[in-house]
Amino acid sequence: MGKKIKDPGLGNASAASAERMMNPNGSFNILHLNKTRRFSEAYNFLVEISWWYFFLLTFVVGFVLNAIFALIYLLIGIETITASTGNLSEDFFNAFFFSAQTFTTLGYGAMSPEGMASGIVSSFEAFFGLVVFAFITGLIYGRFSKPRAAIRFSKHIVFREFADNMAIMFRIVNNRRSIMIYPKVTVTLSLTKQNEDGEYTNSFYNLKLERKSINYLPTTWTIVHEVDKESPLSVFTKEELIKQQGEFLIMISYYDESFNQEVHQMHSYTLEELRLNYKFQKAFYYNTDGKMVLDHKLFDNIEKLNNT
Amino acid sequence: MGKKIKDPGLGNASAASAERMMNPNGSFNILHLNKTRRFSEAYNFLVEISWWYFFLLTFVVGFVLNAIFALIYLLIGIETITASTGNLSEDFFNAFFFSAQTFTTLGYGAMSPEGMASGIVSSFEAFFGLVVFAFITGLIYGRFSKPRAAIRFSKHIVFREFADNMAIMFRIVNNRRSIMIYPKVTVTLSLTKQNEDGEYTNSFYNLKLERKSINYLPTTWTIVHEVDKESPLSVFTKEELIKQQGEFLIMISYYDESFNQEVHQMHSYTLEELRLNYKFQKAFYYNTDGKMVLDHKLFDNIEKLNNT
Amino acid sequence: MGKKIKDPGLGNASAASAERMMNPNGSFNILHLNKTRRFSEAYNFLVEISWWYFFLLTFVVGFVLNAIFALIYLLIGIETITASTGNLSEDFFNAFFFSAQTFTTLGYGAMSPEGMASGIVSSFEAFFGLVVFAFITGLIYGRFSKPRAAIRFSKHIVFREFADNMAIMFRIVNNRRSIMIYPKVTVTLSLTKQNEDGEYTNSFYNLKLERKSINYLPTTWTIVHEVDKESPLSVFTKEELIKQQGEFLIMISYYDESFNQEVHQMHSYTLEELRLNYKFQKAFYYNTDGKMVLDHKLFDNIEKLNNT
Amino acid sequence: MGKKIKDPGLGNASAASAERMMNPNGSFNILHLNKTRRFSEAYNFLVEISWWYFFLLTFVVGFVLNAIFALIYLLIGIETITASTGNLSEDFFNAFFFSAQTFTTLGYGAMSPEGMASGIVSSFEAFFGLVVFAFITGLIYGRFSKPRAAIRFSKHIVFREFADNMAIMFRIVNNRRSIMIYPKVTVTLSLTKQNEDGEYTNSFYNLKLERKSINYLPTTWTIVHEVDKESPLSVFTKEELIKQQGEFLIMISYYDESFNQEVHQMHSYTLEELRLNYKFQKAFYYNTDGKMVLDHKLFDNIEKLNNT
């Protein structure tokens, strides 16, 4: 059996009920207990949530901060801003509008502070509002400029005849129009077994690939592991293989042309997901003008092989 | 015939009418079908368009957003902002100016909201306006700081005598005043042929170069591939060569001193573009003060060789 | 005795009273004399201080700048802004509020400049205020985006039996939820000795480690130096070892997934800190759902070994 | 004579009157003719000028833009903003102040636009002003975050006895408090000679160094080239050497801890600058508390050697 390696950083211990180590989106399947929260993680959180969630959060936070300042103006006395209407909810709305006009440094002036207390609070609020918008500006740029790998992995991983052996194949496509430069791939197989003492342990193998890297990835790339005699999978029959508890841990690195940085993306397929005797449908072709066409709709398509 | 390599990521299939694989500007000549659009690509789009287009877009978007808010104020009732003129278009302009004063947080106050509806809309507009300018700030910085390779490739690629053989040469110049550190070049030749079955296939070759890298590039660098016995081009006569369907795919990487990053730039010349028996005119010289002068006007100049 | 190396950049000279070379937080223990201050270091300072200190500083600076402008308005004459109250401190507060409304570009208009002097100062102040907020925006983003390694080093370094020898072990954990990619570690031992002339000199050794790198670090990693015959520490008995004057200089590099950059972190343990015959308690386990759990509270825990 | 290399990117041609190739600050001594200016170079310019120049430029540009808008308001008619004073220069100042209040989105409202023309211009000006401040914000952050190598090169390069030979030495110090990680140095010697045809040509040599890299640079590092039999300088006597026309081209690369990036810095010494029989004074020592002290004032100090 092929190149067994030391654990790649995951430890060899396992458990009967152990779930997959890596989620399909490439994150590790680990629960953190008693972790101290750090402010810098708030930034990472705000940069990684979706745009809709980000805007919702921004407006909710803005609304709440304004409401708090509105309450402070009410406490100080609405008459230090504008004439009281004699109606608390109307006064609150006026205080809220004044607060919003101050927070955003709009300052129409139809309402304006009179006296020390509202003078101090409104000066502070304007300053505070600008700092909040400095934060929002930083976050928006942080969201924009965060380099994100944009590899789309095929939904399926297939197990099919290839040359004289069987082979395991999955494919990737560039999800952006930009060029991926020097993509490199490594596939680590983790196999879980029960030893004589009844303990579950993981073994790790670096799988040999037909090609480990290409120069650029403008279309699709099918990554192939041939199950030859060297392969750790050669000891199983096709039917046995799919029943093993195991996982393909994939890491792809490339230089992203739009972010001008080296980026990494991870993905995982389990052995259970292997589709026996399927092949991928070609996703690009030349049209009548001689232009190469890449059809993203075809990317996940697989076809049953005839010989089965 | 020389070092044939696996396809560098482009696939071996071709077609009779196949266009060049790479456009001269280094982008791949590929049509994307059924590609889902991603918000992050909007950023890349806005960062890569020209400055004039960017400003035009900014002002058009600003104008349209203002007009939308103006309409909302009209719907609410112009009298909640300022006295109606009794003329709809004049009222619209007043609403538009009020909207602009709110969106930019100018807030002169000559017009100011009265009542709930315009209070809410104007508070929201000011907040929204600041978020829009946070976006613009992020985009402007993103445009500034995007590392761009600034290599200028010679308009022509020449095919001339060199030592005892023929050689293919093109040259590059640093289009910035800053220093390019450790520029490295690779040239991949793609040759398209029809096989016995009438199918068109591409073969790829890494061309051996006189020098693959230099320490820094302050002036010009002529990249030379000598067509010796090892070269995949040695099987053709000069006249045959130019008629082949083929393409030089060039990638240059270097550390850019002004952006402090490794950058890449691609370029492509087709075999048809080869200029037989021409040489490049020298583009730099010492002036009488002993200073080296680099004349960018001379960069594209080629001269017919006498021996032909 | 094992692989002695040239000093890694620290020099071989030492002194009887020499303190540790590196502080536990990874900074070098060096006093700089007669160093010219550079403006760019102010940025580094403002980016590295804590958030609370940063905000405090921001508000204090904002307050002081406003107060300075308020004094200028008083000097020009409060009546060029608003009617004098006849009371200097009240006039100062009005000037201060006007200044704040100008600095933040709030501009209610209840107070507004009349005449040349206050017109010029307020125009300048508004411009200046916006530049200050541009600074704050830049600093906030700089603070956010500064890549920081987030390795937590174990409080203790242990010295225990391992295979047939003794071994020195410490461990690290990822203090973020994100993945550390390709962490690499080097441990340099510095040993201080007195030579025949009574001078103190340092010798440096690269320690051989059980593993120098792993693929990713989702949980903890125990770094092990076995004191075999090759080890520079093999010449000492256990008891002698702890009395030596020496220091482990550790550098860990990895690609941080949240900042998309290679980051470095240094740390130092002294020989005195070695805990004899202790082992680390395991900090992760599988819960009943089959999920791996990493308990950060257990990370620093060590246990006395039974055999002693 | 030692390892002659191909030109590192500078060409072999020279001239009788040729000046040094590289300025002491590391920039190449090249005049660019007919270079098209690019907008992206404006950014590089604005990022690299000094802070004082940058602020001066910012205020001058702000002033000029405001003045232009003031003239436009005068052309439209001052009465569309505020009552005319009947005095052109006073009206201009009022227009200027109104323009400043609009450009900075201050908007006191004491002056406010009436009618179409000034409504349109002021709406545009506020929008334009915000875009200008977005630029300034981007530039300020760009200036802050630009990674700058901060190596200080010794003023002198010395030529002194070392072991059994002579050696050439210069030294560097970290001009920041942060740590330089893995500094690497290369020294290329360029020697200019006149050949039989009277043409001046440059030969280039990679000089062998005592140490090419260290792990970290907390204090000073003296870089040593020993003039042994392998050295291209061994063919000259001490007195001849100093009369040669030649230049040491130095490149230092390291990972900067404060900017978290690999940075490069270049420097050049000419052969004429060699100081015969001098040595560098040590610049760091241990104080009585056992703390290492680095005295930047001693850094450039050299001492005459006794043996001469």
At residue B2, the pLDDT reads 53
pLDDT (average), residues D243-269: 90
| Domain contains A14 | no
Taking an 8 Å cut-off on Cβ atoms, the answer to whether D105 and A105 are in contact is yes
Taking an 8 Å cut-off on Cβ atoms, the answer to whether B107 and A101 are in contact is yes
At residue C221, the pLDDT reads 94
Is residue D2 predicted with pLDDT exceeding 70?
no
Taking an 8 Å cut-off on Cβ atoms, the answer to whether B8 and A216 are in contact is yes
At residue B250, the pLDDT reads 95
pLDDT (average), residues D256-264: 85
Is residue D282 predicted with pLDDT exceeding 50?
yes
pLDDT (average), residues C127-143: 95
> How confident is the prediction along chain A (308 residues), in pLDDT tens digits per residue?
457 888 888 888 888 778 888 888 888 888 888 888 777 788 889 998 999 999 999 999 999 999 999 999 999 999 999 999 999 999 999 999 999 999 999 999 999 999 999 999 999 999 999 999 999 999 999 998 888 888 999 999 999 998 889 999 999 998 887 788 999 999 999 998 888 888 888 899 999 999 999 998 888 999 999 999 989 999 888 888 888 889 999 999 999 888 888 899 999 999 999 999 999 999 988 888 888 899 999 999 999 997 64
Whether residues C157 and C73 share a domain: the answer is: no
Is residue D1 predicted with pLDDT exceeding 70?
no
Cβ of D135 under 8 Å from any chain B Cβ? yes
Taking an 8 Å cut-off on Cβ atoms, the answer to whether A113 and C108 are in contact is yes
Whether residues D88 and D179 share a domain: the answer is: no
Cβ of D254 under 8 Å from any chain C Cβ? no
Taking an 8 Å cut-off on Cβ atoms, the answer to whether A108 and D108 are in contact is no
Task: Give the other-Cβ count within 10 Å of C19's Cβ.
Answer: 15
Would you give the distance in Å from CA C244 to the centre of its chain? 28
Task: Give the other-Cβ count within 10 Å of A252's Cβ.
Answer: 24
A246 close to A271: Cβ distance less than 8 angstroms: yes
Whether residues C164 and C300 share a domain: the answer is: yes
At residue B19, the pLDDT reads 84
Measured between beta carbons, which residues in chain C are less than 8 angstroms from residue D55? 131
A224 CA: distance to closest CA in chain B (Å) = 14
At residue D20, the pLDDT reads 87
| Domain contains A5 | no
pLDDT (average), residues C168-193: 90
At residue D257, the pLDDT reads 81
Identify the three-state secondary structure at position D265. Answer: strand
Is residue C1 predicted with pLDDT exceeding 50?
no
Cβ of D260 under 8 Å from any chain B Cβ? no
Q: How far is CA B18 from CA A76, A289, C220, C225, D38, in A?
A: 76, 8, 54, 60, 35
Is residue B307 predicted with pLDDT exceeding 80?
no
Which chains contact D through at least 3 pairs of Cβ atoms less than 8 Å apart? A, B, C
Among D125, D145, D165, identify where a domain stops. Answer: D145
| Domain of residue A54, CATH code | 1.10.287.70
Task: Give the other-Cβ count within 10 Å of B188's Cβ.
Answer: 20
| Domain contains C16 | no
φ, ψ dihedrals at A231, nearest 5°: -70, 140
What is the radius of gyration, based on Cα positions, of chain B? 29
Q: How far is CA A216 from CA A253, B150, B288, D143, in A?
A: 12, 20, 47, 33
Whole-angstrom distance, CA of residue D198 vs CA of residue D210: 36
Cβ of A135 under 8 Å from any chain C Cβ? yes
C133 CA: distance to closest CA in chain B (Å) = 12
Query: Chain A to chain B, count of Cβ pairs less than 8 Å apart?
Result: 175
Taking an 8 Å cut-off on Cβ atoms, the answer to whether A181 and B28 are in contact is no
At residue D183, the pLDDT reads 94
Measured between beta carbons, which residues in chain B are less than 8 angstroms from residue A255? 262, 264
A2 CA: distance to closest CA in chain B (Å) = 26
pTM: 0.91
Cβ of C109 under 8 Å from any chain B Cβ? yes
| Domain contains D55 | yes
Is residue D39 predicted with pLDDT exceeding 80?
no
Structure tokens at D18: 């040729």
Identify the three-state secondary structure at position C118. Answer: helix
D114 CA: distance to closest CA in chain C (Å) = 17
Taking an 8 Å cut-off on Cβ atoms, the answer to whether B18 and A292 are in contact is yes
Query: Chain B to chain C, count of Cβ pairs less than 8 Å apart?
Result: 6
C141 CA: distance to closest CA in chain A (Å) = 5
Cβ of A234 under 8 Å from any chain B Cβ? no
Q: How confident is the model at residue C2 (pLDDT cuts 50, 70, 90)?
A: low
Measured between beta carbons, which residues in chain D are less than 8 angstroms from residue B294? 30-33
Whether residues D141 and D157 share a domain: the answer is: no
Is residue C244 predicted with pLDDT exceeding 50?
yes
Taking an 8 Å cut-off on Cβ atoms, the answer to whether D141 and B136 are in contact is no
Whole-angstrom distance, CA of residue A193 vs CA of residue D72: 82
First to last CA, chain C: 28
Measured between beta carbons, which residues in chain C are less than 8 angstroms from residue B108? 109
Tell me: the pLDDT tens digits for C273-297?
A: 999 999 999 998 888 888 889 999 9
A92 close to A118: Cβ distance less than 8 angstroms: no
φ, ψ dihedrals at A68, nearest 5°: -60, -45
**Nearest neighbour of C148 by CB, restricted to A29, A40, A134:** A40
Give the chain C residue nearest A118 (alpha carbons): C97
Task: Give the other-Cβ count within 10 Å of A95's Cβ.
Answer: 26
Residue of C40, C101, C102, C105 best to disrupt the B interface, most CBs of B under 10 A: C105
Give the chain C residue nearest D292 (alpha carbons): C30
Whole-angstrom distance, CA of residue A189 vs CA of residue A227: 13
Whether residues C166 and C287 share a domain: the answer is: yes
Give the chain A residue nearest D261 (alpha carbons): A261
**Nearest neighbour of A102 by CB, restricted to C106, C140, C175:** C106
pLDDT (average), residues D45-52: 91
Whether residues D102 and D164 share a domain: the answer is: no
At residue A267, the pLDDT reads 95
Q: How confident is the model at residue C94 (pLDDT cuts 50, 70, 90)?
A: very high
Among A127, A145, A163, identify where a domain stops. Answer: A145
**Nearest neighbour of D130 by CB, restricted to B109, B133, B290:** B133
At residue A1, the pLDDT reads 44
At residue B159, the pLDDT reads 94
Query: Chain A to chain D, count of Cβ pairs less than 8 Å apart?
Result: 6
**Nearest neighbour of A130 by CB, restricted to C133, C179, C293:** C133
Tell me: the pLDDT tens digits for A11-58?
A: 888 887 788 888 888 888 888 888 887 777 888 899 989 999 999 999
**Nearest neighbour of A33 by CB, restricted to C55, C260, C295:** C295
Whether residues A115 and A135 share a domain: the answer is: yes
Burial class (CB in 10 A: 0-12, 13-18, 19+), B138: buried
pLDDT (average), residues D278-303: 91
Q: ipTM of this complex > 0.85?
A: yes
Structure tokens at C56: 């405090």
Tell me: the pLDDT tens digits for A71-109?
A: 999 999 999 999 999 999 999 999 999 999 999 999 999
Whether residues D210 and D281 share a domain: the answer is: yes
Whether residues D102 and D216 share a domain: the answer is: no
Give the chain B residue nearest D45 (alpha carbons): B258
Residue of B97, B214, B217, B253 best to disrupt the D interface, most CBs of D under 10 A: B97
Measured between beta carbons, which residues in chain A are less than 8 angstroms from residue C294? 30-33
Would you give the distance in Å from CA A194 to the centre of its chain? 33
More confident residue, C172 or A239: C172
Cβ of C105 under 8 Å from any chain B Cβ? yes
Question: Residue A201 contacts by C-beta under 8 Å, 6 or more apart in sequence?
Answer: A12, A13, A14, A192, A193, A195
Residue of A80, A103, A127 best to disrupt the C interface, most CBs of C under 10 A: A127
Q: How confident is the model at residue B164 (pLDDT cuts 50, 70, 90)?
A: confident
Structure tokens at D232: 């291209």
At residue D240, the pLDDT reads 86
Whether residues B159 and B287 share a domain: the answer is: yes
C92: part of which helix (H) or strand (E)?
helix C88-103
Taking an 8 Å cut-off on Cβ atoms, the answer to whether C19 and D290 are in contact is yes
| Domain contains D172 | yes
Percent of chain B scoring above 90 in pLDDT: 60
pLDDT (average), residues C18-32: 86
Residue of B91, B139, B172, B216 best to disrupt the D interface, most CBs of D under 10 A: B216
D9 CA: distance to closest CA in chain B (Å) = 5
Is residue B63 predicted with pLDDT exceeding 70?
yes
Closest alpha carbon to D251 in D151, D146, D178: D151
Taking an 8 Å cut-off on Cβ atoms, the answer to whether A15 and C290 are in contact is yes
Tally the residues of chain A.
308
Whether residues A283 and A141 share a domain: the answer is: no
| Domain of residue A186, CATH code | 2.60.40.1400
Measured between beta carbons, which residues in chain C are less than 8 angstroms from residue A15? 286, 290
Percent of chain B scoring above 70 in pLDDT: 98
Give the chain B residue nearest D200 (alpha carbons): B286
pLDDT mean across residues, chain B: 90
Determine the structural domain holding residue B115 and report its residue range: 39-145
Whether residues D153 and D140 share a domain: the answer is: no
Whole-angstrom distance, CA of residue C218 vs CA of residue A10: 7
| Domain contains A16 | no
Question: Residue D304 contacts by C-beta under 8 Å, 6 or more apart in sequence?
Answer: D277, D278
Interface of B with D in 38-97 (CB under 8 A): 51, 55, 58-59, 62, 66, 93-94, 96-97
Taking an 8 Å cut-off on Cβ atoms, the answer to whether B109 and C109 are in contact is yes
| Domain contains B13 | no
Interface of D with C in 21-40 (CB under 8 A): none
Among C112, C128, C145, identify where a domain stops. Answer: C145
Taking an 8 Å cut-off on Cβ atoms, the answer to whether C108 and B105 are in contact is no
Whole-angstrom distance, CA of residue D5 vs CA of residue D9: 11
The total domain count for chain C is: 2
| Domain contains B11 | no
